[in-house]
Homo-oligomer: A and B are copies of this chain.
Amino acid sequence: MIKANDPKLKSWVEVPANSDFSIQNIPFGIFKTDSLGPRAATAIGTQVLDLMVLEQNGYFEGLDLPENIFAQPTLNAFMELGKAKTRAVRNKISDLLEEGNTELKNNAEVLKEAFFEQSEVEMCMPIQVPNYTDFYSSEQHAFNVGTMFRGPENALMPNWKHIPVGYHGRASSIVVSGTDFHRPKGQTKADDADMPSFGPCRLLDFELEMGFITCKENPLGQPVSTAEADEYIFGFVLLNDWSARDIQKWEYVPLGPFLAKNFASHVSPWIVTMDALEPFTVTGPVQDPEVLPYLKYEGDKHFDVKLQVGIQPEGVEETVVSNSNFKYMYWNVKQQLAHHTVNGCNMQVGDLYGSGTISGPTKPEFGSMLEITWRGSEPVKMADGTERKFIQDGDTVIMRGHAEKDGVRVGFGEVTAKVLPAK
């Protein structure tokens, strides 16, 4: 067991019941304040702990970290140190926060400088994303979408159970939770129209996803095997991969989604390490037909992470519209990475890989409005009595995720995004 994962650990920092940020979590993020520039931090309870301040006060001595490694606007350089070193940092932070340890606890001066309430800081984009890939790895989601468009007999494409299907997304428009955005405009064509028309997207949808982030490069031409994948994966974020369904329908044949996807994708600010999620691994589904040898893997690499989506219309209470789980993946992250690199494609530090929409087997577990309302035919009610087929202007979509076991909770907090009217 990784030391920092010990369920017996308790912190001298107060951690409220149901906090995502237990001492067993120790996620990494970037924050700033009105007076302080961006720097690396971890979260514990309701607070943010400034790692730059800890480093400047010698708390990481002996770990042989590069100078100012936490004084940077992203975590890329930190992640690039490799898993052995970043794991040692996480273990050290855990030590410092552990209830019997007084090194930091009794240093009033540093405490004052290093701790902030989460509500008082602004969380920044935690990584610079060189490349973004989005997979399509939830069987229920692929089945739902396929059923709507082709009927249940032909729902899954012939390649779906052989390939973790994926495509390249847009890196530039990946933004951090809380970044408002305008409803996209674009070309759409009604089935009964001769010509396309231009205007605001009418079928704006969220997609409930998780994303993983790589911390190691493979040279061009050198695949990463499923056995090697763990060394490449630093951690996970929640991902809302916004989709303009009507724009997608008209543009996506034959080269895939483009403007329907690249106007904004939101990630949660805290990267929960793969180490921290290790206690929550579960066995994935039996894969039948058998996969090709390069996609076979050992051990469990599915994660039991409870996921939730809520919609909050302007000035109205939130309504939960989905409760799903990251465990509902057909293809796991080892397989996704092995597939992505099997042709020699080179991964970079900070690359983001979306899971694809995560839908569970029953309707309350579906991960998009397209599925929840079955193309708008079964609208959902909001707290103010209004209905939603898709997402309306002024709506804030909130996604949450956490794992829980043996009294330990490790979570992501939220990724939220508010839709402003089209410009």
Contacts and interface: CB of A to CB of B under 8 A. Distances in A.
Contacts of A229: none
Contact of A343 (B197, B263, B347): B263
Contacts of A343: 184-186, 201, 244, 247, 259, 262-263
A374 interface: no
Contact of A187 (B162, B170, B253, B289): B162
Interface stretch (A16-24, A96-104, A171-179): A171-179
Chain A interface, >50% SS class: loop
Contact of A344 (B131, B195, B263, B344): B263
Given A163-B250, A168-B167, A294 B181 contact: no
Instruction: Name the interface size band of chain A.
Output: 35 or more
B131 A187 contact: no
Contacts of A162: 187, 189, 195-196
Contacts of A169: 168
A186 B342 contact: yes
A264 B344 CA distance: 9
Contact of A251 (B159, B201, B251, B292): B159
Most chain B CB inside 10 Å of its own CB: which residue of A169, A171, A196, A254: A254
Interface in A137-184: 157-159, 162-163, 165-173, 175, 181-182, 184
A293 interface: yes
A334 interface: no
Contact of A294 (B173, B198, B253, B294): B198
A171 B352 CA distance: 13
Given A171-B131, A294-B198, A343-B185, A220 B259 contact: no
A46 interface: no
B172 A348 contact: yes
A342 to B, nearest CB: 6
B198 A293 contact: yes
Given A130-B130, A220-B181, A251-B159, A339 B259 contact: yes
Given A187-B162, A250-B159, A344 B181 contact: yes
A418 to B, nearest CB: 13
A423 B344 CA distance: 9
Contacts of A258: 165-168
A285 interface: no
Contacts of A189: 158-159, 162
A163 B187 CA distance: 8
A114 interface: no
Most chain B CB inside 10 Å of its own CB: which residue of A163, A255, A294, A346: A255
Contacts of A346: 172-173
B131 A255 contact: no
Nearest to A344: B263
Given A181-B344, A184-B344, A163 B262 contact: no
A155 to B, nearest CB: 12
Given A221-B423, A262-B343, A254 B163 contact: no
A366 interface: no
A345 interface: yes
Nearest to A249: B159
Interface in A115-136: 130-131, 136
A313 interface: no
Given A186-B342, A220-B263, 15 more contacts: A130-B130, A157-B254, A162-B195, A165-B251, A167-B255, A168-B170, A173-B346, A185-B223, A185-B342, A185-B344, A198-B292, A221-B263, A252-B255, A256-B257, A263-B343
